[in-house]
Structure 1
Amino acid sequence: MSRLVIVSNRVALPAEAAQRSGGLVTGLVDALHQAGGLWFGWSGKLGETTPEPNVFETERVTYATVDLTRADHDGYYSGFSNAALWPLFHYRLDLMNFTRRDLAAYRRVNAVLADALAPLLSPSDLVWVHDYHLIPMAEELRRAGATQRIGFFLHTPFPSLGVLATLPHYGDLLKSLCAYDLVGFQTVEDLTAFHDAILRRAGGTISSDGHVHAFDRDLRAGAFPIGIDTEAIAEMASGAVKSRTARRLQESLRGRKLIIGVDRLDYSKGLEHRFKAFAAFLDGYPAYRNHVRFLQIATATRSDVPEYRALRQRLGALAGDVAGRYAELDWAPIQYLNRSFSQRSLAGFFRLSRVALVTPLRDGMNLVAKEYVAAQNPDDPGVLVLSPFAGAAYELDAAVIANPYDPDAVAEALQTALGMPLGERCERWRAMMVVLRRNSIAAWRESFLGALSS
């Protein structure tokens, strides 16, 4: 059996993996444990120079991490990855900030990481590279002499050609992707956008069985929608709903129905649109005032980036405006929290919620939508209100679909969800659970690795 080598921007060290039970990290760690494997990437630390990788082994898994210099991190991570690629891939051209200096740092760091990884590889290894930070990794590994089969999975959306082409030197990204043996996307829409770029701008060809030929390379590309550990989330939620934290939340509701949103604090999540839609709901359906509460948990990320600091301030002002317009002496319509909770606590919150509001403006998949469904009480499930621009909407079509750019449509979806009879709620939930059980995190992993190794 081939050894699995996972390459990601950050390495999930053993303590972190334990805290993320049921998520992507556990799904990957399980694969490493099964065959023995290596997880390689940035350590999260900054140093004056780039040293040799720090390598250690525990429970059949080898971890190898590399420090970065401040300048390289700023250009590679804060710069090109998150100031250019992230907004581009999420269709926010107004926020895209490209500089040639950042692009050079991005290429340089990928080369540094590849040079550190190459000596650690064995001839029969399967190498699985993750996400937009590391698109050039296979190209750099090939330059360093690697001949192993290398796969890449993009967790974000892949933009249409008209959007992609706004990035200077975007052709280099396409060429880098074609250095892989397998490129995986979340949805058919993302795969189609990649095919379109290969056909129209790279002079490539796409065969009927999904093989791609471009830049003198033959590779495969496919859609591999990522899943969750459905049964683990369900079991966790069943117990977590009895926890002290969940009981506190339930007692604070005083019989009111809970609407929940859980997101990273990011402009792609549509939180400003969501707050305005909730205000439209209270305006349009005043009978629900004092009978619902909207809890939005938005974990702060990238607080050093000005756009994210400004977003946090705008959201605080919007939440205050909604509260000021609609609150009563004994009722706060919106509760906005900038803090993180354990996955166990969130599973309990999900199970208590009558509605989950998952309305990103653009999202590769959105596992919160799937975790919410898995966490529900089978006898009295809640309702998922979902944006059509989340990858999860391709699978969870039994959700109530609402366009986040239309606040009245989201308000109508909330009214539909809150008033939905039990029989319909159960029917929709069962349909989505069939999908979640079939397309689990294990099925995603095995599907991708099976395609890579064949």
Structure 2
Amino acid sequence: MNRLIIISNRVSAPNQSGAQGGLAVALQAALREYRGIWFGWSGETVESFTGSINFNRAEGVTTATVDLEEQDVDEYYNGYANRTLWPLFHYRIDIAEYERGFAGGYQRVNDRFADTVVPLIEPDDTVWVQDYHLFPLGDALRQRGCRNKIGFFLHIPWPPRRLLATLPEAATLTRTLFAYDVVGFHTEEWLDSFRDYARNELGAVEEEGDVLCLDGRRVKLVVAPIGIDTAEFVAAASSVPARLAFRQMRQSATGRDLMVGVDRLDYSKGLEERFLGYERFLNEYPEERKEVFLLQIAPPSRGSVESYQRIRTTLEGLAGRINGAYADVDWVPIRYVNQGYPRGVLAGIYRAAKIGLVTPLRDGMNLVAKEYVAAQDPANPGVLILSRFAGAAAQLGKGAVLVNPYSAEEMSDAIMLALKMPLEERQQRWQAMMENVTAEDVLWWRQRFTDALEEV
């Protein structure tokens, strides 16, 4: 491979302040392996779209960003991406909104991205498009004469056929994916759902080796579960910020066991169900109440979308009710924090936690689960309680305590099991998970996908 051109909705520079998501860190690691560019929206708005590109280079990563109009953001990002596709692909058709204006804005921004990035793409470059914001981008690039190898990776679940059928333009949207040479998913389940829709709704023909053919185009389907930069995160767990955070958490715990959840404030993360499961535990095991507390870190996101405003209000009310019902003068059951933290600080918090709670209702992967594992002390590791509906369960299921997040009873039982789990069992479970987190890290993920793309 010569250069790698990564295109995503947002671009995160390596020196950007504040905590960065797992995908941002993963893509930066991939770009350091090659000369290349990361292209996307700057996060800023302008009165009129000009296509002017802002270039930046830091820590071996070159970024190229464009500003969008307010209408673009409202229709493409807040609208179609986050009020239509995100809830639908996370099985929440009850809150998905279908507006023609949203769909029009979504296509318009994908066309603008294509117009702007095409001049940056050289004949031998490999193009890698990321996630649901940019489904039609490959087709737009082909229409503008791009003959490069183009891959697409979906970082969220692909919904079952009957759910996707509720999207008015589902067939048109899915058909655009056949402009790519390779389409990647985190799990076999998501790949199977895509294949089922393409075969039964579009008439795609399956060939040997997970290849689908439609209208003269052949697309290779691959399962490539994303990992973390394991070596970097293990090192972060021993850094000065991590040691300080670890000491601070242990001191503030005053001998109690810490449970931690770190999730973007989103209805798909199962935070309301997690709080209710914890409340069930406090009710069923009153003798354990003052022996444990939950630290829930939930940085807000997409605050202009009404469904996200509702989940924040709901969680604030639920945390207040549980604390009001069970707290004592020297103990509060839930510490609920609406802000993000740097990776080093998070690593220290993970290491101090006896239980990591990762219980989304539906998740493409969930890298917090892997970060929690990587941050643990091998001599005295904590226990990961993991939703069976997270993509990470396919890799970490042998070591994690798997739960149905919709069941408060299962959540309560899992917490009790984890608190009482013997050291030897905790070590065995952690070792099984750590082997996977180490072997299938972000470099493995990148190599698995780009190898498939190069073989086309």
TM range (shorter): over 0.9
Match in the other structure for 2:227: 227
Contact 2:242–2:345 at 8 Å: present in 1 too? Answer: no
Q: Which one-letter code corresponds to 1:31 in the other structure?
A: A
SS of match in other structure, 1:279: helix
Contact 2:381–2:427 at 8 Å: present in 1 too? Answer: yes
Match in the other structure for 1:414: 415
Match in the other structure for 1:45: 44
Q: CA deviation at 1:114?
A: 0.2
Q: Percentage identity across aligned positions?
A: 46
Q: Which one-letter code corresponds to 1:48 in the other structure?
A: E
Structure 2 distance, partners of 1:451, 1:189, is: 19
Q: Which one-letter code corresponds to 1:303 in the other structure?
A: G
Structure 2 distance, partners of 1:61, 1:353, is: 34
Q: CA deviation at 1:21?
A: 8.0
Provide Cα deviations, 1:351-405, integer angstroms capped at 9, x if missing partner. Answer: 0000011110000000000100110000000000000000000000110001011
Structure 2 distance, partners of 1:405, 1:383, is: 20
Contact 1:24–1:441 at 8 Å: present in 2 too? Answer: no
Structure 1 distance, partners of 2:223, 2:252, is: 43
2:442 is aligned with 1:447: no
Match in the other structure for 2:328: 328
Match in the other structure for 1:204: 204
2:92 is aligned with 1:74: no
SS of match in other structure, 1:332: coil
2:154 is aligned with 1:154: yes
Task: Check 1:238–1:63 CA distance in 2 against 1; reply closer, same or farther (3 A cut).
Answer: closer
Structure 2 distance, partners of 1:120, 1:280, is: 55
Q: Which one-letter code corresponds to 1:38 in the other structure?
A: I
Structure 2 distance, partners of 1:214, 1:5, is: 26
Structure 1 distance, partners of 2:301, 2:46, is: 22
Contact 1:240–1:348 at 8 Å: present in 2 too? Answer: no
SS of match in other structure, 2:237: helix
Structure 2 portions without partners, runs of 5+: none
Q: Which one-letter code corresponds to 2:266 in the other structure?
A: D
Give RMSD over aligned pairs: 1.5
Task: Check 1:22–1:262 CA distance in 2 against 1; reply closer, same or farther (3 A cut).
Answer: closer
Contact 2:55–2:65 at 8 Å: present in 1 too? Answer: no
Deviates more, 1:236-245 or 1:157-166: 236-245
Q: Which one-letter code corresponds to 1:441 in the other structure?
A: V
Q: Which one-letter code corresponds to 2:409 in the other structure?
A: D
Task: Check 1:453–1:375 CA distance in 2 against 1; reply closer, same or farther (3 A cut).
Answer: same
Structure 2 distance, partners of 1:321, 1:425, is: 33
Q: Which one-letter code corresponds to 2:74 in the other structure?
A: D
Contact 1:131–1:154 at 8 Å: present in 2 too? Answer: yes
Contact 2:9–2:40 at 8 Å: present in 1 too? Answer: yes
Q: Give the length in aligned residue pairs.
A: 453
Match in the other structure for 1:434: 435
Structure 2 distance, partners of 1:236, 1:362, is: 28
TM-score, reference length from structure 2: 0.96
Contact 2:14–2:61 at 8 Å: present in 1 too? Answer: no
Match in the other structure for 2:309: 309
Structure 2 distance, partners of 1:32, 1:272, is: 37
Q: Which one-letter code corresponds to 2:254 in the other structure?
A: R
Task: Check 1:62–1:341 CA distance in 2 against 1; reply closer, same or farther (3 A cut).
Answer: closer
Contact 1:130–1:153 at 8 Å: present in 2 too? Answer: yes
Listed as ranges, the matches of 1:339-378 within 5 Å are 339-378=339-378
SS of match in other structure, 1:264: coil
2:334 is aligned with 1:337: no
Structure 2 distance, partners of 1:405, 1:92, is: 14
Deviates more, 1:204-213 or 1:245-254: 245-254
SS of match in other structure, 1:65: strand
